Structure 1
């Protein structure tokens, strides 16, 4: 009896399963809704937003207006939206893949309910004041979320010169970069964490996309938009607390969309070169939140390209009370040095979850990670996950470049390319150097331009200094280098040579070991106080020999590596036999009246005679550098440092070891702090403060002193720890010191406000350099200058003060972008 009842029950259950299961399977199965979004003339609307109402499941159209959208079986309301056109909603019931073409009408704006104030103020201003007052509310309305992000980038080169600065250019026009990526994006209280799960780069199956979804959004609810990458000082948001100082607004009208009144406001910068957008912002009545934007930046406002337009569309996500971007698109054009082109980056956000749960310490300094198999996805995967259909041109680019990659990776092809590039040319060897490549074996041999091997100084006379480089790279991004150098002085008839070899054994932590040795000359400052080329000019033309050198025969080993994120160790041990050198020639092209060459032993306020006898020195050097909360991106075989919002700290120790035949015995302890600080539209500052003390000076020589980066030439010294008027060696110390450097770049904040002058696009810069030693006392340099003159030049005027009294002044000229 029980068995019969059990059989009947199982039979009924089986019938129910057979009846229900097909429906369940159909409901879970995904179909594709595809079609084309056009205007009334049948022209495709590129990058129109298409999404399922009430969800964040959506896509955009491609360049031709084509779209496809994966949907579960059932009934859906599909919204079609394109800035400047009236949104359309279509109901679809889908149980199989189907086509839906949609034609959008231009938006119809109404002005009927607008009230003109008695003072004639445009109606846009009260709307924008309400949007500005609600800025913080909308900025903070979402505490956390997760979503999926699809990013596509494409750049075309339309024109390329045959030569740039005399160098031959061998670049093909057409699509030069085309990439797609899919990421899982997480956010909490201002912190992003991104995981790139798939990446595809046209013509490079082993490469990874540079796309970063967390950097795509233009967050207009922040006062300053500093992630555009187009301007050094960032842009002022049209809803910033001080936006009225930078924008004029004009009411264009309003339209109805899904029961909401949307106001269209035209944005107009108050000054031509103000850090502000042109274009349109759409504000929703009552809530005063941003509905969408269509912004543009033109030449002069941005630094690195000619123009850019930004389109960003928002939609309600989660419970409908929070709005987030569904799509962002950047279009840009560029022209420089004869190159001309354009491109875009597009990001689609979908599957928002505004109530996620994160593990403890989920958010850390790793802002992005790229999975090991991200670039190993096949075409089937991409055809399923890609939310935007490829255009015919994009399909062709993938097909041609991916098939060509097989050929380009072959030994015959690489050998043929290398044979062409490895050809010797007299002009190239003289002015550009030479590189011999074996791409298949990942090997490279090179030397610098031959003209740069010739130097002149009063110790060696005419000098030839030739450095060679050999590099071997491996699949896992480790590499090995060998660098021999040869030097001969025609006046002192002295031949010298050295060899350095290094091995990068841990790319992710920058782990490197090196060893070097030989007999060579070195500047007394233990750094390059003055470049050999500049010293040659001043010696031959101005009759001033600033460079002071000595000879050392040495052997040295070193090691550096990141120990934990942001903490770097560097150490070395050197044994050297050090010999003084004397002037052997006084030849100069000019005989300047009342000027003579100085001895090779410089003047110093702490040491009456800086000359020295032959001696041996065993020196240990170690330092720890800490970048607090250093942000980084992890790739499968490397680590990319993004930066830090905190200062960089350095602690260093140098010890002269009195061991064996070593004749030195001293201890130097030093520390520094440095940082770069963005100040929004006001510009950016950078500073460096360092201090040190010799704990022990039992036995040391002048090259063991703490030297400072001085400058006695007319060229601006670009280092962040350099003085511009200080003598090279006068205040070198074996005691205590305090050193500080500060520089502020206004990035157009001041100069862009002056008509006519702003056409030069020059930017104001101020600087201050400070030094205290027992003999220098309070030495201070104050400078003011203009940079970016004709894009590449800088001109400064500096005054030197000692104990408050002016002791020097001068102009300094430099180059730099």
Structure 2
């Protein structure tokens, strides 16, 4: 109500009235032209017609030339006199007739399209810079609908909890109004003025109004293709596309050429369709382009793009609208959608304050998601369709029902049914919606393991998650109890871990844990319990080396801003050695027996009982960090620069009877370099050492993340064939490096038949060096994206420069070998 009063007051105080022009845009057969562009000639105002061709445009009194335009149709102009009354203006567009009369193509001669494209490529950078400084208003509407879906998915009933059993349903619907500003060379910012998500009054629609700019060489589409897609007028486009001239047409005394775009090869990141280029100025007039699975597109089956440009003044052309049509068929789900973006109120001479552009790329204004329905009805340039109106009404009503405590209780009863599959394989989740609490119970398959120290192990764990804010999921408290029993040595262990996360603008977290528990000598847990069980029982290779300790630990972290993060920890351990207590095997391996329960590479006997008090602090910095800023928090978007980190760890002597006395340091740098068509290069380099090493126990050595199991460890910071403790050390200086290149189809998409699988080549190298001239390295080559989940590698290991073996490794997306 307050907002409505303010709007009315401003309306009368301004002394300026506005009238609405409305109507339909249809073709010659009376069929609606969805998302046709309607705008004022050489003016800033514009809108887009809906799916049914209906549009509406608010203008102050005066005389205007209104233009209606749709890709593939001849544009139409209407002179109108706007007063203070509503005005109805309809448009009937005819299919754009192209002419080939003036073009003579001789046999064997080059198609005229190539000369046009070459000219467009020459002018590409000029037109790119033409829209490098502007400000405009953007309205975006996104919707995604289901056409079909399976009754069950992964054994679970598919239930959208909306009471609607029909196959056709709206999955997502949102609207956003924003101010989009750009300044050379690479500054941009989006201020979200209002945003709305159907059925979720507290949500923020994450719509980015960025123009899909075909004047760029590559169209970056995160999640669709890591290499990016090549523009039909990119600098190297002639290497990838064939072109066909299909004629030209005249529009406002400007000749426009229609060019068919044809990929030279399948399974390259290329577009298909049509691009319209103006004669002489060689600008993009409009385009209709599509991507398919054969374009190396991930997730989606097809993506159709339409864009329409128009002159704003005698010099510049601006984009009027952009429409994306995605479709996806996956695991029995069949869905389609649209994302319509309307650009208006362009200011090509926008004056920005000195500090307007900063590290915030998108900012949601306070109250931007709290606008009432009548506000949206008054400013929406694109009319809602009947199914969208229905979705808003249905989901908004359902949202109110879901706030009822009785409904939340009934929802919990439905969701909280416990099944044998969950208990054994997936775990169980019990939610308490009224309290914003969730209880998780880990599955038994992850709770039972075997090692030579404890024998069969029952490691029961779960968690309790308490959210403090219904809109900020980052603000929460997590409590995780853990009870562990070894049936062979009879030891009962347990710990309790607590973690609080503030979820504020500068995220802050505090962690506390303590109890009596078992630790690997490398506390980073390089050996996973699941794979170690099979290695131990089937091959008599007991890689996991354990000790027991009473311990207490506190961790603290805080984002300091501008990509700078601080972490600190203090830990006390009262350590005790453990011995093997079980010699159970499922299959005896000739001339192989279990090794003692300590790292035999660096120890000849079990360690002595001792105490250790450890204090550490670290900083990490990623320059140029970008953010999305919400009213109560920020979300990091990463940066094009590498992450630099440094850490110090001190073993404190005598305090609380601590027996350790050392100081070690570590510094590192890592980054993911997107090389577009050439793939992605990932690297991680670090160095460190002991500045003081008067009393260092084996758990406090510098350990490297080795691996002797068939399941790969994390590739970016691990070795895949290194013995776990062979190079553990207390040297004054050490260094390690990891380099990996994801080719993302650079080579595999050229192999007939094989390229249809979309399996990608990957290769890399790992190396370490110690003071004293000790060194180790390995090379590997593999295939990834196998069935979207698997990766396999062959690893060649070199110890002290000598070849020491070749090993097979595999990984499953989201699962690596280490970690307990």
Task: Classify the TM-score, shorter chain.
Answer: over 0.9
Aligned to 1:442: 436
Q: Is the 8 A contact 1:300 1:761 kept in 2?
A: no
Aligned to 1:802: 799
Q: Residues 390-789 of structure 1: matches in 2 within 5 Å? A: 390-475=384-469, 477=472, 478-604=475-601, 607-609=602-604, 611-660=606-655, 661-735=657-731, 736-774=733-771, 777-789=774-786
> Which deviates further from its counterpart, 140-149 or 181-190?
140-149
Q: Is the 8 A contact 1:690 1:739 kept in 2?
A: yes
- Post-superposition offset of 1:100: 1.4
1:97 to 71, 86, 105: 86
Residues of 2 paired with 1:784 and 1:526: CA distance? 29
2:18 to 24, 30, 36: 30
Residues of 2 paired with 1:432 and 1:786: CA distance? 28
* TM-score normalised by the chain length of structure 1: 0.94
1:153 aligns with 2:142: yes
Q: Is the 8 A contact 2:459 2:485 kept in 1?
A: yes
Asked which structure has the greater CA Rg, the reply is 1
- Post-superposition offset of 1:121: 0.7
* TM-score normalised by the chain length of structure 2: 0.94
Paired residue secondary structure (2:42): coil
Q: Is the 8 A contact 2:131 2:318 kept in 1?
A: no
Paired residue secondary structure (1:400): helix
Aligned to 1:791: 788
- Post-superposition offset of 1:26: 11
1:83 to 71, 80, 85: 71
Q: 1:165 to 1:783 in 2, by over 3 A?
A: same
- Post-superposition offset of 1:590: 0.7
Per-residue displacement from partner, 1:622-641 (whole Å, max 9, x unpaired)? 11011111011011232211
Q: Residues 92-131 of structure 1: matches in 2 within 5 Å? A: 92-95=80-83, 96-116=85-105, 119-131=108-120
- Post-superposition offset of 1:47: 0.5
Q: Is the 8 A contact 1:602 1:610 kept in 2?
A: no
- Post-superposition offset of 1:778: 3.0
2:207 to 204, 211, 214: 211
Per-residue displacement from partner, 1:543-581 (whole Å, max 9, x unpaired)? 211111111101111110101221111111111101111
Residues of 2 paired with 1:155 and 1:742: CA distance? 39
Unmatched runs of 5 consecutive residues or more in structure 2:
1-11, 162-166, 815-820
- Post-superposition offset of 1:108: 0.3
Residues of 1 paired with 2:274 and 2:16: CA distance? 41
Q: Is the 8 A contact 1:710 1:727 kept in 2?
A: yes
Q: Residues 323-342 of structure 1: matches in 2 within 5 Å? A: 323-342=317-336
Q: Is the 8 A contact 1:36 1:102 kept in 2?
A: yes
Aligned to 2:314: 320
Aligned to 1:55: 43
- Post-superposition offset of 1:159: 2.1
Q: Is the 8 A contact 2:267 2:756 kept in 1?
A: no
Per-residue displacement from partner, 1:448-506 (whole Å, max 9, x unpaired)? 11222111000000000011211111127321121111000000000011111121124
Q: Residues 291-306 of structure 1: matches in 2 within 5 Å? A: 291-301=285-295, 302-306=297-301
Q: Is the 8 A contact 2:68 2:77 kept in 1?
A: yes
Q: Is the 8 A contact 1:249 1:267 kept in 2?
A: yes
- Post-superposition offset of 1:163: 2.9
- Post-superposition offset of 1:719: 3.6
Residues of 2 paired with 1:124 and 1:666: CA distance? 72
- Post-superposition offset of 1:99: 1.2
Residues of 2 paired with 1:610 and 1:132: CA distance? 71
- Post-superposition offset of 1:761: 1.4
Paired residue secondary structure (2:711): coil
Aligned to 2:342: 348
Q: Is the 8 A contact 2:476 2:503 kept in 1?
A: no
Q: Is the 8 A contact 2:425 2:444 kept in 1?
A: yes
Q: Is the 8 A contact 1:27 1:72 kept in 2?
A: no
1:171 aligns with 2:160: yes
Aligned to 2:818: none
Unmatched runs of 5 consecutive residues or more in structure 1:
1-23
- Post-superposition offset of 1:801: 2.0
Paired residue secondary structure (2:409): helix
Residues of 1 paired with 2:591 and 2:421: CA distance? 41
Q: Is the 8 A contact 1:160 1:171 kept in 2?
A: no
> Which deviates further from its counterpart, 534-543 or 179-188?
534-543
Paired residue secondary structure (1:129): helix
1:144 aligns with 2:148: no
Kindly tell me the number of residue pairs found equivalent between the two proteins.
789
Per-residue displacement from partner, 1:571-598 (whole Å, max 9, x unpaired)? 1111110111110011011111111111
Per-residue displacement from partner, 1:397-431 (whole Å, max 9, x unpaired)? 11111111110111111111111111222222121
- Post-superposition offset of 1:115: 4.3
Paired residue secondary structure (1:407): helix
CA RMSD of aligned residues (A): 1.6
Residues of 2 paired with 1:608 and 1:514: CA distance? 33
Residues of 1 paired with 2:586 and 2:569: CA distance? 42
Q: Is the 8 A contact 2:268 2:294 kept in 1?
A: no
Paired residue secondary structure (1:300): helix
Q: Is the 8 A contact 1:679 1:685 kept in 2?
A: yes
Residues of 2 paired with 1:552 and 1:320: CA distance? 77
Paired residue secondary structure (2:624): coil
Residues of 2 paired with 1:651 and 1:141: CA distance? 43
Residues of 2 paired with 1:586 and 1:276: CA distance? 59
Aligned to 1:5: none
Residues of 1 paired with 2:223 and 2:246: CA distance? 30
- Post-superposition offset of 1:227: 3.5
Q: Is the 8 A contact 1:668 1:693 kept in 2?
A: yes
- Post-superposition offset of 1:256: 0.8
Paired residue secondary structure (2:387): helix
